Amino acid sequence: MTTPEGLENLETLLVDVADGVALITVNRPDVRNALSEAVLADLRTALTALRGDDTVGAVVFTGSGEKAFIAGADIAEVRTYDLTTGLTGEMQRTMDLIESFEKPTIAAINGFALGGGCELAMACDLRIASDNARFGLPEANLAVLPGAGGTQRMTRLIGVGRTLDLILTGRLVGAAQAEQYGLVTEVVEPDALLPRARELAMTIMAKGPLAVRLAKLVVRAGFDAAQPTGQVIELLAQTVLYGTADKAEGTEAFLGKRTAEFQGH
């Protein structure tokens, strides 16, 4: 593994790249990897750097240690938040950056994914959980709500009723129930979590990179649009792909029974 230049000395994150997969580890195990303002700033720095790094084709997020993926916001900081903090929306802005990231993103969820941790996972394209993972949006216990996209992303993933159940009661659900709800896409043994996340990232990276990027864009942009509008977006994206060298390479490789060598154009 190597650490990209400029990301070696991040205060709260470890960033390692191997075989084109960047692993971002929130590294605050003493506080269950809570999302402080420093973590959010480091995440934005890392994503900005990885966006422009052509050697990176996918990003995996995880948490340090065995107890927690990310156990929410840093409560010591939340205690000081005021109206100005809320309007600034640093955490929501960071989750939006993850959701709109052009390269595939995977959350490898070990242990607790609560509050902001659950929101970060939901901002990723795919979510894989170890069987000891637990999920929840318990912010109402602090007289606040999931304000980093949680009320919206969870509703779109699992529906209004289940989302309100989790937010209003503050209860936690285990990995199996999260998979049943559609909150995670796969559950594995803890030792298999990161290998499976890397395997999945490599599988995606073997596809046409422009097709992957546009598929992410079309699915997300079309979800909130009327179906005819979404299909227009889909049609235009497909039209763009029909004119790429990657499409020519993909079809020729299939007919020639060989592995495609995509160039991303």
Catalytic residues: 119, 139
DSSP strand pairing (58-63 vs 21-26): parallel
Alpha-carbon distance of 176 to 59, in angstroms, equals: 24
Q: Tokens for 98, please give them.
A: 């993850």
Q: Across the strands, what pairs with 58?
A: 21
Alpha-carbon distance of 92 to 163, in angstroms, equals: 18
* Cα-to-chain-centroid distance, residue 28: 19
- Interaxial angle between packed helices 116-123 and 150-158, expressed in degrees from 0 to 180 and rounded to the nearest 10: 60
List, as own/partner pairs, every contact residues 91-96 make where C-beta atoms lie below 8 angstroms and the sequence separation is at least 24, other chains included: 91/35, 91/40, 91/116, 91/119, 91/147, 91/148, 92/147, 92/148, 92/149, 94/40, 94/43, 94/44, 94/148, 95/119, 95/120, 95/122, 95/123, 95/148, 95/149, 96/123, 96/149
Cα separations (Å) of 55 from 3, 22, 51, 194, 263?
12, 9, 10, 20, 12
